[in-house]
Structure 1
């Protein structure tokens, strides 16, 4: 379902909105495409891991947590750039770096590729239930809405994952990537 140009798709949104499954479905429908899960890269750190699910909790080592998040994002950029050099597109899932807010800086990271960002959202009560089902508690971070609004202002488009199938949502995201003419699409330059 993809034109011949190399696309870098940055799929963002808070935990529980469906990024992982939607990213995999998108990548499977694109010609020559990698799926890069930033969380997998972050959790490659074993000794000294700072995370809510294992190791030291982020509130006890905020700088360490931020460093590991940035490391995962940086490695995702390197992987996607490497794939792009060989003619492969990438869907980067979970990239929450501040570079997403500066689309020009983000595009510079991917020389010669079309860069699009898609924000996944979900109604708060449904998201709270999804968090509780994962054992994370049902209390959502207060800053979540603020981050969502900031990302929405620069994204190519957004999709509400409250209802509908992951397949339909992946198709909607692909339409944003390939068929929307938005001012936030950027072409990387070397």
Structure 2
């Protein structure tokens, strides 16, 4: 087993991919872990918040980058104190590599949850929150599969329970580890 003390694990994927639940369950299985929820940093902006839309307005992109910087710094802070920081956020396309460069902690791991599009659609329809806004399941799934660099462990968790996904992540940590 890889030593995960003072490590950072990034869990990403489209909305409704299972990031929150898998990240929480993963953190619960580790001896000292913090669950860093990227969306918390978005919600901290009380006025002047710009939602990130497919048009990628300049201010919305600046706020997204701020959110990413803050969550990466928070994860590094937890790791520096001997915790495994499990970050969960929607980080897709070329922004994934940019985001991972913000994390100074080593070792770093990344897991991309990539359930089938029809599973994303079913999960989205079953959720109480609507995370897609102007986005469609198809557009985000396309971004995951075609625009996101193939870094770390890619996991089709379509037919898995969250605990099964965590089992697979823990069993395949070497695949999720990024080069130092």
TM-score, normalised to structure 2, is 0.81
Equivalent residue in structure 2 for 1:110, among 77, 95, 104: 104
- CA shift in 2, pair 1:95/1:81, >3 Å: farther
1:148 aligns with 2:145: yes
Residues 143, 169 of structure 1: alpha-carbon distance in 2 compared, 3 angstrom cutoff: closer
Query: Which of these two proteins has the greater Rg computed from alpha carbons?
Result: 1
Alpha-carbon displacement from aligned partner over 1:36-81 (angstroms, at most 9, x marks no partner): 0101111111111223xxxxx7368722222221111111111011
- Flag structure 2 segments of 5+ consecutive residues without an equivalent: none
SS at match of 1:9: strand
**Runs of 5+ in structure 1 lacking a partner?**
52-56
Q: 1:60 to 1:107 in 2, by over 3 A?
A: closer
Cα deviation, 1:110-156, whole Å, max 9, x if unaligned, reads: 24x200111001111121122233445894243532433443512x2
Q: Is the 8 A contact 2:35 2:85 kept in 1?
A: yes
Separation of aligned partners in 1, 2:110 and 2:24: 16
Structure 1 CA distance for aligned equivalents of residues 37 and 171 of structure 2: 21
Which residue of 2 is the match for residue 173 of structure 1?
169
Q: Does 1:160 align with 2:153?
A: no
Residue-pair matches, total: 175
Corresponding residue SS for 2:73: helix
Equivalent pair of 2:10/2:109 in contact (CA under 8 Å): yes
Task: Give the equivalent residue in structure 2 for 1:54.
Answer: none
SS of alignment partner, residue 58 of structure 1? coil
TM-score, reference length from structure 1? 0.78
Distance 1:24 1:121 in 2: 18
